[in-house]
Structure 1
Amino acid sequence: MAAGAFGSVYAGRRVGPSGEPPSVSALKFLPTGTSTPRQLRHLRELAEREVKLLSRLQAPRLIRLYETLTVDDPGHPELDGATVLVLEKAEESLDALLSRTPRPRGGPELLAQICAGLHQLHHAGWVHGDLKPPNVLLMKDGSVRLADFNMAAEMEGTHAYTPAFSTPDYTPPELLWSEIGERGRQIRPAADVWAFGVLAHVVLTGSQPLPGSTPSARRNAAVRYAQGHDELRLSPELPSPWQQIIADCLARTHRERAVHDAASLLRRVESAAGTARSPRSHPLPRRWRWAAMAAAGLAALGFGVNNALAGAGETAADAVGYDRCDKGSVCFFTERDGMGEMCAWDGDDNDWTAGENHCGWAAPKKARSVFNNGHDTDAGEEFVDVAYYAQKRLREPLGCVEVGARENFTAPLRPRSHIWEKKCRASDARPSAAQPSEIRVRGDGPPAGR
């Protein structure tokens, strides 16, 4: 299918149980056979970065990781020991689309989805570090996924640390001459904002925003611009709503860019693209993740495979229980007191089992606790309580949880959808006198007559 600087990607067919149709996944091989010990360590670190991010974050605009494997086949030394990432399969990359159709007709809508993915990453505390057209994937339904997180890094205060590798055309000026420490290069979210500005200019005009016929010439132009010697001259073919957006993304310094974070940028991009959403429709999850990844099989390509990289399905950093639920989200758990597996949203979801933001354990398991970690009422947010339902279409709720409440259910529930409300109705949420932290519900099945 494709090959890059750090591996090759193939299509693989996963054969399910008897009677079920096979599904197709993308297999990303990180080879080891011709590498030196130092190169092997480097490849391993890159693989671990990608696995770490994708095992912690499951979001609509990030490519999905199903499983991590290693090839166990001494008969093929060029592949023996290779790490294999079993990923959601895309139709093509944005790079392939642009090479075939410069300035694609749906470019603004694609940019809105790319920016949404960037927002999901940044809100979860990660920097992509290598945002460019080859790392943006287009699915069969036309939707976008961000991919290739070999350079991704988790924020530690104001910075993250990423390997000393970059694509000059998408690298902000301050990183073109940055120092490389023992942990790599310091990077900020503003680096992704610069890359998005370049990418948006390419998508909308078919040209790079900085002058020069080669990457080296454009790199020198970026340095001159950052030092104040040259002005930024964007293409006159750039649609007017996008001119200021891209100019802000390509501000000279990271401090100037930092005021235009991914959240504010997303609102402006969606408005320019004509895809702006109402406060409660088609929600953007803040940190939508599962505490355990779904397992997937891998069809034989002639090589044996074993599970690798222990801990790939573990939840994020040291948080446990209810503390795993991000501010602004509502989280449901498979065990009492916020334990077990978790699904979290900061918007409505009308179908937990088949919607875009579906919850992996919702069908086979029940929920036993919930935490409404609330929206910011000081910022004027009206929809702060959450009603949840036993069916996909929102009818009579199973119950409702008020903002700030951490509750164990009196009996295990199987919710199928939820919606943010201004206030729980008294008939929906009835605290138990014996257990004030719990709520009573009307049962585990759908309403009568369904």
Structure 2
Amino acid sequence: MTGRTRGSHGPHTVPVPKGYRVGRWEVREPLASGSFATVYAARNTRPGAALPPVAALKFLPTGTRTPRQLHHLRELAAREVELLQRIRAPRLIRMHETLTVEDPDRPELDGATVLVLERAEGSVDALLDRDPVPEAGPELLAQVCAGLSQLHRAGWVHGDLKPGNVLLMKDGSVRLADFNTAAELEGTHAYSLAFATQDYTPPELLWPEVSERGTPVRPTADVWAYGVLAHVVLTGSYPLPGASAEARSDAAVRYARGAEELRLSPRLPADWRQIVTDCLSRTHRDRLVHDTGALLRRVEAAAGVTDSARPARPAWLPRPARLGRLSRLLRSPWSRTRRRRGPALVGAVAGALLAAAGGVTYATLRDSGPSYGYHRCPYASVCFFSEQNGNGEMCAWEDSDPDWLSGRETCMWTADRPVRSIYYNADDSTDLGGVAYYRGRDYTPVGADVTRPRSRLRTGCTSQRAQGNLAGTYAPLSHRFIAHCGDGGDGRPSTPPSR
């Protein structure tokens, strides 16, 4: 007995026939379905474009139903799309594009919003079905905490963190998903729709005040949910007593009032006991001191990992030779009843991907601040801007990237517009003092810069804390971190090659 519950999966909320075309995408098998949406596997019918060969299509029926239902669904879709268009972070699932179905002959689909999402292999929910206390639990939890930290730094609250909304990629890395109820902070609060899952909802939100703008939530709600998630992953049970979600919710309310105690499992590792206890502090105020930035450092120490926020390569790029425990788990079936074929992206993104709030949701573009200024560039990142002086659109990376258009991160505006300014907001502890950028993919010197008499191996280089405008027609499509700008990026001297 794991102390976890499952929802049943009925007919698909949005039935879409196999073979149906939406833009370049051909619908394949259904992956998951929830109250408000259905997700399907999809194949890219126009390979070679700056999009992956496979994806997940999330259909939201925003063109049908009653006016009241339409308003509600459109609000859910708008929240999701806004976050996905504004935030790019390594531990948040990505959105490639959005589409609208125009098909009057199919009124059940006509007007539907379709999110083209990064394809996952499974979810933590499905993993726990197979193995209630997975060996890779600590590593997994470190990456989840990194995702929450990235989301909170961008000024958003997830609002519905749970196993079904944590996805596992083919390379074993973790992505947070399902942002239907996510909300942007306005000072200390955000306003969300009241769809959080009971077992992961803090006591103060079990009977919330609801205004016309929704339920006021804080980042501390995600901290509580993380504490529950950590206890479930590491022990297979919940930290509060009760045979049902309702009973455990009642226990949470009593706990907040001081009439109930946590029931931390003896299976909880000693290094994690204080972390979980702090996350599950009785009140919002008690949880305030345990923000996800500070929490991440403690979690990484307990898990024995570093760089849990580091992005992973997408499934369609070559995989590294050495894989972690999560990758090894992916070689086995995710559920008791369905087995996958080899390395192919087959099978379900677990049914719980769309539980309760209705979605696997995914993300791209980390720029959530104002659309101007170098100050937007996150610490320990290099940022490229479409306008001078750090203005316009921004791409921010925490690691090297050989391909901005179809690599593990994307910066699609650079496909047809040059980079006008750059800022390396370096981590002082690193020994990588420069960022070399290149006109071609894979750090190659493609094309010619008409403002320079001779082509170099790289387009340019910037040093730590350096910011400035780029002249001419600079259009880099890849970059890598190097020791200093005095070399050519790969140990090569920074001199023009012989012709």
What interval of TM-score do these two structures reach, taking the shorter chain for normalisation?
A: 0.7 to 0.9
Deviation at 1:16, TM superposition (A): 1.5
Deviation at 1:75, TM superposition (A): 2.1
Q: Distance in 2 between matches of 1:388 and 1:104?
A: 39
Q: 1:399 aligns with which of 461, 464, 476?
A: 461
Q: 2:434 aligns with which of 387, 395, 399?
A: 387
User: 1:217 matched to which residue of 2?
Assistant: 247
Answer yes or no: is 1:408 the counterpart of 2:455.
no
Which digits, 9 at most, give the CA deviation of each residue in 1:151-192, with x for residues without a partner? Answer: 000010000000122211000001112210111011000000
What SS class does the counterpart of residue 73 from structure 1 fall into? coil
Deviation at 1:388, TM superposition (A): 1.8
Ranked by relative contact order (alpha carbons within 8 Å, sequence separation 6 or more), the top structure is: 2
Deviation at 1:120, TM superposition (A): 0.7
CA contact (8 A) 1:383 1:420 kept: no
Deviation at 1:194, TM superposition (A): 0.6
1:76-95 maps to which residues of 2 (within 5 A)?
76-95=106-125
Answer yes or no: is 1:448 the counterpart of 2:494.
no
Q: 1:344 aligns with which of 396, 401, 417?
A: 396
| More divergent stretch after superposition (90-99 vs 28-37) | 28-37
Cα 1:446/1:257, change in 2 over 3 Å? farther
Q: Distance in 1 between matches of 2:91 and 2:395?
A: 16
Deviation at 1:344, TM superposition (A): 1.6
CA contact (8 A) 1:372 1:386 kept: no
Q: Distance in 2 between matches of 1:251 and 1:37?
A: 41
The residue identity in structure 2 corresponding to 1:406 is Q
User: 2:21 matched to which residue of 1?
Assistant: none
Q: Distance in 2 between matches of 1:253 and 1:340?
A: 41
CA contact (8 A) 1:16 1:22 kept: no
Answer yes or no: is 1:371 the counterpart of 2:423.
yes
| More divergent stretch after superposition (22-31 vs 390-399) | 390-399
Cα 1:12/1:418, change in 2 over 3 Å? closer
Cα 1:446/1:217, change in 2 over 3 Å? farther
| More divergent stretch after superposition (312-321 vs 84-93) | 312-321
1:325-344 maps to which residues of 2 (within 5 A)?
325-326=377-378, 329-344=381-396
Answer yes or no: is 1:151 the counterpart of 2:181.
yes
CA contact (8 A) 1:283 1:348 kept: no
The residue identity in structure 1 corresponding to 2:86 is R
TM-score (norm 1): 0.78
CA contact (8 A) 2:88 2:367 kept: no
What SS class does the counterpart of residue 367 from structure 1 fall into? coil
Q: Distance in 1 between matches of 2:50 and 2:183?
A: 38
CA contact (8 A) 1:350 1:419 kept: no
| More divergent stretch after superposition (335-344 vs 111-120) | 335-344
The residue identity in structure 1 corresponding to 2:166 is V
CA contact (8 A) 1:326 1:373 kept: yes
Q: Distance in 1 between matches of 2:289 and 2:241?
A: 26
| More divergent stretch after superposition (392-401 vs 57-66) | 392-401
Q: Distance in 1 between matches of 2:459 and 2:103?
A: 54
What SS class does the counterpart of residue 470 from structure 2 fall into? strand
> What is the aligned-residue RMSD (CA, Å)?
3.4
User: 2:192 matched to which residue of 1?
Assistant: 162
Identity %, equivalent residues: 58
1:152-231 maps to which residues of 2 (within 5 A)?
152-231=182-261
Q: Distance in 2 between matches of 1:401 and 1:412?
A: 21
What SS class does the counterpart of residue 103 from structure 1 fall into? coil
Cα 1:313/1:271, change in 2 over 3 Å? closer
The residue identity in structure 2 corresponding to 1:195 is A
Deviation at 1:373, TM superposition (A): 4.7
CA contact (8 A) 1:396 1:447 kept: no
Cα 1:420/1:217, change in 2 over 3 Å? farther
Cα 1:78/1:386, change in 2 over 3 Å? same
Q: Distance in 2 between matches of 1:350 and 1:71?
A: 34
What SS class does the counterpart of residue 25 from structure 1 fall into? strand
User: 1:417 matched to which residue of 2?
Assistant: 479
Answer yes or no: is 1:99 the counterpart of 2:129.
yes
The residue identity in structure 1 corresponding to 2:66 is T
Cα 1:86/1:410, change in 2 over 3 Å? closer
| More divergent stretch after superposition (123-132 vs 12-21) | 12-21
What SS class does the counterpart of residue 141 from structure 1 fall into? coil
Q: Distance in 1 between matches of 2:305 and 2:223?
A: 20
Deviation at 1:326, TM superposition (A): 4.1
The residue identity in structure 2 corresponding to 1:389 is A
User: 1:294 matched to which residue of 2?
Assistant: none
The residue identity in structure 1 corresponding to 2:44 is R
Deviation at 1:335, TM superposition (A): 3.6
User: 2:300 matched to which residue of 1?
Assistant: 270
Structure 1: any 5+ residue segments left out of the alignment? 286-311, 376-380, 429-444
CA contact (8 A) 2:365 2:395 kept: no
Cα 1:352/1:218, change in 2 over 3 Å? same
Structure 2: any 5+ residue segments left out of the alignment? 1-30, 312-363, 445-456, 488-493
Cα 1:446/1:211, change in 2 over 3 Å? farther
Cα 1:358/1:267, change in 2 over 3 Å? farther
TM-score (norm 2): 0.71
